[in-house]
Amino acid sequence: MRWPAAVACCAVAWLLCAVPAFAVAPPTLSVTGASLIVAGTGEQLYSVNPNRELAIASTTKLMTALVTLQHVRNLDEMFTQYDWHPAPVDSQIGLIPGERMSVHDLLVAMLLPSADDAAMDLAYNVGGHSVRRFVAMMNAEARALHLIHTHYTTPSGLDTPGNYSSAADLVTLADYALHYSPFIKHTVSLPRATLQTGRYVRQVTNTDDLTGRVRWINGVKTGHTYDAGYVLVSSGTRDGMTLIGSVLGTDSEQARDDNALALLDYGFGEFHWVNPVRAGQVLARPAVSWSSNRAVVVAAGRFQQVVPRDDRVSIQVHAPAKLSGPMRRGARVGSASVVVGRRTLARIPLELGRALPAVPFFTRASQILRRPTTLMLLALALVAAVAATRLWRRRPRTVATGHLEER
């Protein structure tokens, strides 16, 4: 490949946010801790004491559900409730020792009405008849997910020393669990459900009253104890963007819901998804040597990210002004910079979308011959040749004569 001496740098100003959105003030939250992230990327958009280690009540059950699903493949498997008797204040579905219920229904009971007896049943059976062993599995998974401000001492979330997490760890765990398990993602979005197994059919209701009441909310988990106050991990989706937020230490269910909605509303009001570059998108059409055609230069990757609504997004394309074959399809021919506000967030390689064949010699020769300068030079050469020929013909001729010497 031959690059021209000058490399063209053309700035394609695609103004995705031409009119800045009205800036939304950060929410004033009455919480002990809070965190808001973008689902799938983990990008943190807002926080209050995100790494403070706090009691988290029944949001503990997110880890209980995750570990259960990592070790039980058949949700129709039946578990037998062991000899555990909850206190009257515990959230429960009234399981009695010896009662058999499917893993599916136990998970639903734990995630929706936040049943402590279902959580203990799962922990006992998945842990090989040892709740302590199951808790060790929970802590091992926390370490694997790098939840450095999280530790478990119970599968249910009841106030026990050493059972804590942080606002940031909770949203990270929820993001992973929702991605890892379609079952969890579906279940936590349900306002209510029916448990078919057990001694009798049970109707259960989700303790997260935002699910079903607010159209764009799709989970995730509530919690409440004396030490933790009212806790809520929430997921919401608007305009193709999903955010996950957590609020800890609120003083009532109403305050819990109000703070969770304020946090998510702030995120959706202040940020949005942008997708200015897609893989295969044509970003330049440089000229081709010895041809009237133009090359097709495309993006080799994509860029999509959540950015502030009032930040302008532009693309700066760095590609040669002219290309020469032969060049294969996919050959690297430059880069594109994605600029958000004043920050360059990504540089994406550019490549040829179509191969450039070698130009035949006769094609190049014919084009050279058709150039005005070439024709002028040929004409001058022809005139000079004709003049030289005439001069040659008109030159004086000398006749050689010889003299004979007499002897």
Average per-residue pLDDT in the chain? 87
Does 152 map to a domain?
yes
Catalytic residue among 35, 47, 61, 234: 61
Number of domains in the chain: 3
Same domain, 226 and 280: no
- List the domain range (segments joined by +) for residue 57: 33-250
Does 22 map to a domain?
no
Catalytic residue among 35, 47, 58, 235: 58
Same domain, 52 and 128: yes
Same domain, 98 and 184: yes
pLDDT of 199-237, one tens digit each?
999 999 999 999 989 999 999 999 999 999 999 999 999
Q: What is the pTM of this model?
A: 0.78
Q: Reply yes or no on whether 58 is catalytic.
A: yes
Q: Reply yes or no on whether 322 is catalytic.
A: no
**202-205 vs 192-195, strand pairing mode:** antiparallel
Helix (H, G, I), strand (E, B) or coil at 326: coil
Same domain, 193 and 47: yes
Same domain, 117 and 214: yes
Same domain, 209 and 348: no
pLDDT of 357-401, one tens digit each?
876 655 555 555 556 675 566 567 777 777 777 777 776 665 555
Name the residue type at position 359: V
**322-323 vs 287-288, strand pairing mode:** parallel
* Angle at alpha carbon of residue 90, lines to 226 and 221, rounded to 5°: 70
Catalytic residue among 114, 235, 246, 337: 114
Are the CB atoms for 99 and 134 separated by under 8 Å?
no
Q: Reply yes or no on whether 61 is catalytic.
A: yes
pLDDT of 88-116, one tens digit each?
777 899 999 999 999 999 999 999 999 99
Alpha carbon of 28 to those of 49, 266, 371: distances in Å? 13, 10, 73
The tokens of 44 are what?
């943190």
